[in-house]
């Protein structure tokens, strides 16, 4: 295999890793959004129905910690709901999840372009195709993924055992 095809395979490996990393990052933000949203919903429902609970005598609460009394617990729970709602508004996990999903799809599209180049007999025009792929990759608006998700993506791609050794297109210099 010539060095240009090895280089394209190396690029494809990197792109594949980033594709998975962005997908994993998207899933993490979806989980965060659900966790915050469901927690806020449950707590706000408790607050909403707390005034409909049957009257419980204060002597019952005196046996427990003071914060279980309605006059302490309801404002505390309401405050936590407000924090969750503000956190969700500030962090915007849904938007971030969608953004990572779009970037993952863009990497997938780029990877498929490389696959098309590698499966066609393009020995004469491979230089043009390499320049075209490099330009598309440079134009991609990528954002940061966590180290954890990058490593997960890298391990996922490594498990395929389809790519040559990393940077194997470079000559060994001793």
pLDDT tens digit sequence for 147-170? 999 999 999 999 998 887 777 677
* CA distance to 37, 45, 62, 79, 112, per residue, from 67 (Å): 24, 19, 10, 14, 58
**66 or 33: whose pLDDT is higher?**
33
68 vs 164, which has greater pLDDT?
164
Confidence at residue 63, expressed as pLDDT on a 0 to 100 scale: 61
Determine the pLDDT at residue 81: 94
What are the structural domain ranges in the chain? 3-158
- When mean pLDDT is compared across 44-48, 109-113, 151-155, the lowest value belongs to 44-48
Q: Which tops the pLDDT comparison, 120 or 85?
A: 85
- Tokens read off for 94: 């849904």
Statement: residue 60 has pLDDT above 60: no
Distances (CA, A) of 128 to 20, 131, 139: 27, 5, 17
CB 61 within 8 A of CB 68: yes
- Of 114 and 148, more confident: 148
Closest C-alpha to 15, from 117, 105, 91, 82: 105
| pLDDT recorded at residue 110 | 93
- Of residues 105 and 62, which shows the higher confidence score? 105
């Amino acid at each position: 295999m010539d060095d240009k095809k090895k280089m394209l395979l190396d690029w494809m490996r990197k792109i594949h890793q980033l594709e998975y990393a962005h997908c994993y990052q998207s899933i993490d933000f979806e989980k965060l959004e659900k966790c915050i949203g469901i927690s806020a919903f449950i707590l706000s429902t408790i607050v909403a129905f707390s005034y409909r609970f049957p009257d419980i005598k204060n002597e019952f609460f005196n046996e427990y910690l003071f914060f279980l009394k309605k006059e302490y617990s309801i404002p505390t729970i309401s405050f936590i709901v407000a924090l969750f709602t503000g956190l969700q508004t500030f962090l915007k996990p849904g938007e971030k999840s969608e953004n990572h999903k779009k970037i993952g799809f863009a990497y997938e599209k780029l990877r498929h372009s490389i696959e098309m180049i590698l499966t066609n007999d393009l020995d004469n025009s491979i230089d043009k195709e390499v320049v075209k792929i490099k330009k598309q990759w440079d134009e991609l608006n990528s954002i940061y993924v966590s180290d954890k998700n990058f490593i997960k993506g890298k391990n996922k791609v490594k498990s395929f055992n389809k790519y040559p050794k990393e940077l194997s297109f470079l000559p060994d210099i001793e």
